[in-house]
Amino acid sequence: MRNLLVAFLVFTILIIIPPQNQIPVQALETDNLESIIIEVEGNPLEHKKYVEAYHPFITVIATYNKLFNGLALQGSPNDLAKMGSLEFVKTVHTVQTYQATQFDVTTKKQGSVNSVEDVVKEYPDIVLPSALNNTTYTGKGIKVGVVDTGIDHTHPDLQGNYTGGYDLVDLDDDPMETLETEGMPTNHGSHVAGIIAANGSLKGVAPEAEIRAYRALGPGGSGTSVQVIAAMEKAVEDGVDIINLSLGNSVNGPDYPTSVAVNRAAELGVAVVIANGNSGPDNWTVGAPATATKALAVGAFANSQTVPLLYDSLTNKKISILPMAGSTPWKLAMDYEIATLDSTEMKGKIALIQRGEVPFYELAKNAEEEGAIAVIIYNNVDGHFQGAIHDQDEPINIPVVSASKKDGEWLAQFATEQNHSYIETIYEKTSSGIATFSSRGPVTVNWEIKPDVLAPGTNILSTVPEGYMPLQGTSMAAPHVAGVIALLKEAKPNWTNEQIFGALKTTAQRVEDEEGQPAEPIVQGMGKVDPKQAIETPTIIYNPSLSFGKINEYRKTQEVNVTIENTSKQSRKFSFNIPSKQQGLSWNLPLPFKVKAGEKIDIPVELSITSPQLEKGIHQGWLELSSEGEIYHLPYLFINETADYPKATGFEFSLKPFSKDEYSYRLYVTEETRNIEVELYDPHSLVYDRTLLRMEDTQVGMNEGYINSRDIGKPGRYLAIITLQLEDGTYESYETELIISPEL
C-alpha cells in the first residue's frame, strides 16, 4: 500500500439543526460481515478480478470508474483488513452496517405533524415549495437523484414519485432514512425530496418528477467523501438528469475530491445542484462541493416573516430568539419572569438554561415538568445556533428557543440582579432578503463568485417520516432549484445544462439590502431564481459572473469572455452601460453590438487594475448590459494582492481503517507555504503541550500523509493550532478541536 493515506472527511447535511449523540447499535450475532469502499490506482475492473480470484471470501458489491476509481467490498473484518496491504489500494473507507429490526411506525416524531393544513394554521409564515413554481410545467419525465440521508419512500406524498435508488451506507437497494434502531434517526433526505417532487397533500416544485434516492449519509446525517462520490456515481450510472447535494464541508477550494467528482458528473451530462452552506454571514465560508466550477451553488433567501423578540423597556434591549425544530411556536402575550437553574421556583416562568452536554429535549422536558411556561437555551460559545427537540414518547408542549451566548449571559445577569426579572415579548416583521446563515463566497484559489443563485431557504414545509415539518437551511434552498431545473428540462428538452444554468442566472432577480442597495455578489450570486422568466428568456448569458482573479502585479489587465445567446426569433441589440469612474480601475467594454436570432457569440470584457491605487482585499460590483429595454446585471470580482481568506482549511486526523498503529491526516492549503506546523494545547488552560507534526514541501490543494502511533503522544482532547509560514515569510494560523482516540 502507498505511504500516502487519506483520512475520513465527514460531510454534514446543510440544515440548521445540530447533531446529537449517536445511539449505539449491536450487530446481529449471526452476521459478522462488514463493508468497506476502497479507492484504487489503475483499472478497478482489473482489481475486481484480482480480488475475486485471490480473496474468495470477499464479495465485490460495486465497481466505480466514472467519478473515481474504487470498489465496494463486503466480508469479515479479518478478511477486509488484508485489503490495506494490497499494492493497488490507495485508501480504505469503512462503511457501517446495522441490525435490521422492526421499526415502530406508530411512534410519532416530536415536531412533525400529520396534516399540511395543521402546519399552515400553526405557522402563518410557512413557505410551501410549490409557491416557487409559477409555470404550467410539473417536471414530468425528469429523473432527480437525491444524494442525502435516504428518503422515507413509504411516505404517501413521496411513494408515487419514488423509482428506486441505492444505499451507500448499508450497501443495499433500500435507501431508507436511518431508523431509530440504527442510530440517530434522520429526516433530511425526505424533506429535500419533498421540496423537489412531493405529490400528495403537499406539492413540491416539480410534483411529477421522478425521485431516485442515494443514501450516502448515515445516522445523524454524516458520511465519508467516498460514500458521497460513490452515491453520485451510482446516480450517474442510473441515468438521472439532475443530482441534488444538500451537503458539504468546510473546505473552501475548487479542487477538493468531491468538487472534482461534481465537475466530472457535469461533463457526463448531469445537472448538479449544491447547497452553498450554513456558515454565514462571514465571507469565504462556502465549502466543497459547492465550490465546484460546473455545479450550481445555491444560497438561501429568507421570506418576510413575523418573529418574536424578547424586550426590556427600561434598557431598550432587544434579544433575538430562534425556535428549535420540533417546538411549539412562541406566542407569549404577557410579561414573564426569567428563572435560571439556580432559581428555587420555575412555575409560570421562562426557564433560562445554558447549552451543555445534556440533550436539548431533556433540558426542556425537565423545565416543563417543573412548571416553566417556556424555555430559552443559550449558547456556550459565541454566536447563535438553532437546535432541535425530538422525543419518542412524550411531546414538549411549551415553546423552546435558542439564544446567543452574549444574550443568554445578559438575561442571566438580568434575572440575578432584578427583584422581579420580567421580560416582555414583542413581535416584529422582518424584511425579505438573504438569510443570515447562508454561506458567502468567494472560492479560494480560482476566486470564483459563489453562490450562483438564491432560492427560498427559511420556514420551508416539506415531508419527513410520518408527517410534515418546517425546516430551514441552504439544504432547503438547493432542492428548490433542482425542482426548477426539472421544470426547465421538461419545458426545453433540447436545451443543454449549460443553457439551463445560463437561463436561470440571466433571469435571476437581483436582491437588495435594507438600504435599497444591491447585496454583494458573493452573498447572492445572480439573485433569486424565477422559473417562468428562465423558460421565456430571449437571452442566455452563459457565464454572467465575472471573476478577474487575484492581482499581485503593479498593473495588470485581465480579459474575460462573456458568451451570449439570442434564443428569440429576432435580432437583438446589446450595449454596456459605462460604469462610474473609479481610481485604479479602467474598463475596456465592447461597443454596442447585435446578436442575430439563434446566434451565440463571445464578447470580451477587459479590466485594467493598478494595484497600489486600491485597497487590498475583495473588490466586487456590477456591470450593466442593456438589450431591448432589459437590463442584465453582471457581477464582477477580483482580489487585490491579498485578503482575509483562509490560508489552510479542513484539517482531518483519524485512525487508519483496520489499523492500530497508524494515523492519517489531511490539510487543504490555499496559498504557497514554506512549512506548516500543527501544535497541540490544553483546551482549558491553553498551555502548550507538544508539536504533533511539521509539513515541508507543501502544495496548493490537498496535503496528506500518515503518522505512526508511537509519534502521536498521549490521547485526549486538544486545541490544535495550525501555523503556516507563507512564501513571503509571514505567518498565518487558525485553530480547531482535535481528539486523539485512546483506542491504541
What pLDDT score does 109 carry?
45
What pLDDT score does 657 carry?
67
pLDDT per position as a tens digit, 545-599: 999 999 999 999 999 999 999 999 999 999 999 998 899 999 999 999 999 999 9
Q: Is the pLDDT of residue 291 over 60?
A: yes
State the Rg of the chain over Cα: 26
User: What size, in residues, is the chain?
Assistant: 744
When pLDDT is cut at 50, 70 and 90, the band that residue 162 belongs to is very high
Whether the CB-CB separation of 37 and 9 falls below 8 Å is answered with: no
Which of 167-181, 182-196, 473-487 tops mean pLDDT?
A: 473-487
Domain 116-303+434-507 sits in CATH 3.40.220.10 = no
Q: Is the peptide bond before 451 cis (omega within 30 degrees of 0)?
A: yes
Query: Range with the lowest mean pLDDT among 97-111, 224-238, 556-570?
Result: 97-111
pLDDT per position as a tens digit, 348-391: 999 999 998 788 889 999 999 999 999 999 988 777 776 778 66
What pLDDT score does 372 carry?
95
State the DSSP string of 708-730. EGGGT-S-EEEEEEEEEEETTS-
| pTM, two decimal places | 0.84
462: part of which helix (H) or strand (E)?
strand 460-464
Mean pLDDT of all residues in 27-46? 73
Mean pLDDT of all residues in 510-525? 93
Topology of domain 309-428, CATH? Glucose Oxidase; domain 1 (3.50.30)
Q: Which residues contact 57 (CB under 8 A, 6 or more apart)?
A: 75, 76, 79
pLDDT per position as a tens digit, 319-339: 989 888 778 889 898 899 999
DSSP letter (8 states) at residue 517: S
What pLDDT score does 53 carry?
94
Whether the CB-CB separation of 504 and 534 falls below 8 Å is answered with: yes
For cell 428568456, the residue is: 537
Query: Range with the lowest mean pLDDT among 3-7, 155-159, 524-528?
Result: 3-7
Residue 437 CA to residue 87 CA, distance in Å, equals: 45
* CATH of the domain spanning 26-95: 3.30.70.80
Query: Range with the lowest mean pLDDT among 160-174, 253-267, 438-452, 643-657?
Result: 643-657
What pLDDT score does 607 carry?
97
Percent of the chain residues past pLDDT 70, beyond the cut: 91
Q: Where are the domains of the chain?
A: 26-95, 116-303+434-507, 309-428, 539-639, 648-740
Whether the CB-CB separation of 630 and 539 falls below 8 Å is answered with: yes
Choice between 732 and 204, residue whose per-residue pLDDT is larger: 204
Choice between 137 and 27, residue whose per-residue pLDDT is larger: 137
Topology of domain 539-639, CATH? Immunoglobulin-like (2.60.40)
Pairing mode of beta strands 701-708, 716-726? unpaired
Q: Is the peptide bond before 289 cis (omega within 30 degrees of 0)?
A: yes
pLDDT per position as a tens digit, 455-468: 999 989 999 998 99
When pLDDT is cut at 50, 70 and 90, the band that residue 15 belongs to is low
| Distance linking the first and last C-alpha atoms of the chain | 21
Architecture of the domain whose range is 648-740: Distorted Sandwich (2.70)
